[in-house]
Amino acid sequence: MGTGYLIQFYIACLILSFVALPITYRLCNRFADGGFMISKSLGLYISGYAMWLLSSAHILKFSQGSCVIVLLITALLMYLPVIIAVYKKKDNGFVLYLKSHAKSIIIAEIAFLVVFVILNWIFAHRIPSTDTERMMDLGFMVSMYKTDYMPPLDMWASGEIINYYYFGQYIITYLTKISFIPVGYGYTFGFFMIASWAVVAIFLLVYDITKSRIAGAISGFAVIFSGNFHYVVFAKIVPMLWDILQLDGEKPSYWFADSTRYIGYVPEVTTDRTIHEFPSYSFIVGDLHAHVVNIFVVVVILCLLWAYLKSLSEKKDETKPVTKKAKDKKNEEDKKEFKGSPLLRECCNGYFLLIGFLLGISSMSNYWDFPIYYVVSGSIILFGMMRVYGIKNKGLWGRVILSGFFIMLINLAVSFVFNMKFNKMVSGIGIVTKRSLFYQLVFLWGFPVVMLICFIILLIRKRKLDDTRLYTLLLGLCATGLVTIPEFIFVKDIYIDAFPRANTMFKLGYEAFILFGVTTGIIINAFWNASKDEEGYKAHLYKKTAVIFTVCFLMTLGYFVTATRQWISDYSSDSFQGFDASRSIKNANMFDLKAIEELEKLVSASGVNQPVVLEADGDSYTNTCRVSVLTGFPTVLGWHTHEWLWHNSHSYMEQRRIDVQDIYTSEDAYQVRQLLNKYKVDYIFIGTCEYMKYEVVQNGILESMGQVVYWENSDTGQLIEIIKVR
């Protein structure tokens, strides 16, 4: 069932946790685990990026051996300063760090492992759906797993590379290789590793902010396991009112996906259908897509920003002038410092280096996260510096601009090689003509926005803006801005006619949900603390507010319970399906599976790594293109709309579609030969999907194009064939 693979995968994750520890123990040692969870992510991305870069430069093949070697070299380089310092007896800070944080590290790692095992066990009871983007994501990973050099071949457009933000799937493929497990298992374990890690990392972040374990747990669960308030209204309140009022007609039903498809669907607006997905839905459905994988990056950026903000405050406390004369002297020093190297060191620090690196990774993994978190980072850096140096300080803006420039420079350097071979898939900014109804926005975003407004009122009453309040306020305001933007502008893509702002609302709303989720525990904790600090009606009011917010949060948490119950109805041992993400595709193509396995053996024996294998093309979100997904061998055309989006050209996709149809159905042998040569086809696959799509397949003409290397009659009487083209 794959338990051994799960153990191997976990061991690889544990090893990665130590790779970047010499960095995180210096920058993030304020966290309870001393930055151990952050190191898990950074260790993966730093070593994985190094492997990707070397493969892109054709210096090393993307093989299992190369991945292990690069991992070891990365770890050696990270630990070299520590080893030298310990050897020369100059600094034993790292050793002391390990001793002082050992208990917290073990507890955090156990929490990660428990959540990781539970999530894998839950979702191993349902065969994953093939009508989502799971096939695409798995196809990416299989193609990368078999490729020698980056960028990987597009498994759905032979002769092309993947023109998509594929780095997220790449990093899980890299993790799969150093775990020595099959791709299907790496997909599943990598997917739930992200969710498990994020819960623990967010807990540690918010715990450090609030010193409250409950607040940390609330924020962790709010980001990963809760739903939006649409669930509360339509799954709980509406059915309850229906029964109380005894209304006529059929009681409204609820399906967990309804909470992600509301605006443009109820009421129906065919020209403005939108998407407002959130992490818990993503993890239930099982798409290892760009926005999901990049949670691994986003949470680290938020942790680094908090650690930087606290380091600024500590600097302020250390250098705070106490007299007017000292203040004047400090201002003069700041002016001089603007022209000197101390300022350069201040604005080009380790925090900004890592943030720039992670934003560069975002540019290759989920591009939307780059501008979003560049702005979030900029806002925290700006207001953090304002608190330290004062808004009237002449060196303030120089510091902010230099910091922003440094982060941008690192981002561009990290993503430069990727962008050299990448063509943008968007065509500008559009103005929204149809907006969401106000009550729809209230149902979706009313709860976190009301929390934020109440928090702002609390800040006004307290008249003190410390690090915790500033950090929470800025995250909340940035999240509100992300929700607001799709009501006015959108990014143009191929969906401009029917779903113009769907992708914009999807990607911005996804990050808004994460930011609101992080603030949830902090705000609830703030009101609980305020109720203890006050007396009389104010204390009662703050306590009531905290109770209401807590109850509302718990109600949204019910989404995960409801959704998993709807998605997985049977938890018995008989329903346990295992951890292989490819099993649903295999089960749906049982008649062709033996032929696909035989094809892999033939290709392996031939020594050709990724030959072009012709199969029937198909519509997106359907169980087609199974050969290319399971083998990683490129085909002429896969899912239509996805290739249209990636190449931003309908004619490109349409011409390939026509050519594939002609190869299978044309009675002109010369035309078939020309088309096979055009796309350099090595094998022709004729199976159930091809018969279903084309009805009449010209087997005789296709057989004349080469040698039949596999044939078998299926249970339905159809001839399954593989033809090696001459």
- 328: pLDDT confidence band, cut at 50, 70 and 90? low
Residue 429 has pLDDT above 70, yes or no: yes
pLDDT, residue 426, reads 80
How far apart are the C-alpha atoms of 262 and 446, rounded to whole Å?
Answer: 15
pLDDT at residue number 573: 74
Q: What was the pLDDT predicted at 574? A: 76
Predicted pLDDT at 340: 45
pLDDT per position as a tens digit, 676-725:
999 999 999 999 999 999 988 999 999 999 999 999 987 777 899 999 99
Give the sign of the dihedral formed by CA 459, CA 465, CA 469, CA 474.
Answer: positive
Give the confidence band of 325 by pLDDT, cuts at 50, 70, 90.
low
Instruction: Look at residue 309 in the predicted model and tell me its pLDDT.
Output: 95
Residue 129 confidence class, pLDDT cut points 50, 70, 90: low
Instruction: Give the per-residue pLDDT at 1.
Output: 62
Nearest CA among 521, 431, 507 for reference residue 476: 521
pLDDT band at residue 282, thresholds of 50, 70 and 90? very high
Average pLDDT over residues 265-292: 92
Question: In the structure, what pLDDT confidence band is assigned to residue 91 with cuts at 50, 70 and 90?
Answer: low
> Average pLDDT over the chain, rounded to whole?
91
Q: Point out the least confidently predicted range of 72-86, 90-104, 464-478.
A: 90-104
Nearest to residue 33, comparing CAs of 86, 90, 91, 111? 111
Tokens of 554: 């718990």
Give residue 701's identity as a one-letter amino acid code: I
Does the pLDDT value for residue 293 go beyond 80? yes
Contact 147, 310 (CB under 8 A): no
- For residue 456, what pLDDT band results from cuts at 50, 70 and 90? very high
**Element at 431 (helix H, strand E):** strand 429-431
539: Cβ contacts below 8 Å, ≥ 6 apart: 530, 531, 532, 533
Q: Which of 169, 219, 218 is closest to 194 using CA atoms?
A: 169
Stronger pLDDT, 91 or 384, i.e. the higher one? 384
b/e 538-569 (16+ beta carbons within 10 angstroms → b): eeeebbebbeebbebbebbbbbbebbbeebee
Gap between the Cα atoms of 629 and 627, Å rounded: 6
| Confidence grade of residue 337 (pLDDT, cut at 50, 70, 90) | very low
Q: Provide the Cα torsion 565, 568, 572, 578; round to 10°.
A: -140
Secondary structure (3-state) at 497:
coil
C-alpha separations of 57 from 60, 326, 416 in Å: 8, 54, 12
| Buried/exposed 502-511: b ≥16 CB within 10 Å, e otherwise | bbbbbbbbbb
Which whole number is the average pLDDT over 231-259?
Answer: 91
Lowest mean pLDDT, pick from 132-136, 151-155, 315-319, 582-586: 315-319
pLDDT of residue 331: 55
Tell the residue number behind the tokens 């696959």, with chain if given: 685
Query: How many other β-carbons are positioned within 10 Å of the β-carbon of residue 475?
Result: 25
Q: What is the mean pLDDT of residues 481-501?
A: 89
The pLDDT of residue 322? 52
Over range 247-262, report the average pLDDT: 91
Choose among 11, 10, 42, 12: nearest CA to 24: 42
User: What share of the chain in percent tops pLDDT 90?
Assistant: 73
Highest average pLDDT, of 114-118, 465-469, 617-621, comes from 114-118
Instruction: Give, in order, the Cα–Cα distances in Å from 180 to each of 296, 331, 526.
Output: 22, 58, 46
**What's residue 493's pLDDT?**
82
- Mean of pLDDT values over 494-510: 89
Q: pLDDT band at residue 320, thresholds of 50, 70 and 90?
A: low
Q: In whole angstroms, what is the distance from residue 436 CA to residue 446 CA?
A: 13
Return the ∠ at Cα 256 (arms to 290 and 3), rounded to 5°: 60
Local structure of 14: helix, strand or coil:
helix
**pTM of the predicted structure, to 2 decimals:** 0.94
* Rounded Cα–Cα distance for residues 44 and 39 (Å): 8
Looking at the predicted structure, is the pLDDT value of residue 315 above 60?
yes
How confident is the model at residue 53, as a pLDDT? 98
Question: Which range has the worst mean pLDDT, 125-134, 369-378, 459-468?
Answer: 125-134
Q: Which of 71-75, 616-620, 626-630, 679-683 comes out lowest in average pLDDT?
A: 616-620
Buried b vs exposed e over 124-146: b needs ≥16 C-beta within 10 Å? bbbbbebeebbbbbbbbbbbbbb
What's the number of CA atoms in the CB half-sphere (13 Å) around residue 469? 19
Between the CA of residue 97 and those of 175, 205, 255, 374, 507, what are the distances in Å?
27, 19, 49, 31, 39
Give the pLDDT band of residue 620 (cuts 50, 70, 90): confident
- What pLDDT does residue 336 have? 47
**Whether the predicted pLDDT of 314 surpasses 90:** no
- What amino acid occupies position 450? V
Average pLDDT score over residue span 261-284: 93
pLDDT at site 672: 96
pLDDT at residue 187 is higher than 50: yes
267, burial (CB in 10 Å: exposed 0-12, middle 13-18, buried 19+)? exposed
Asked if residue 288 lies in contact with residue 137, where contact means CB atoms within 8 angstroms, the answer is yes
Dump the DSSP string for 554-615.
Answer: HHHHHHHHHHHHHH----SGGG---S-TTHHHHHHTHHHHHHHHHHHHHHHHHT-SS--EE-
Least confident residue range of 122-126, 248-252, 569-573 = 569-573
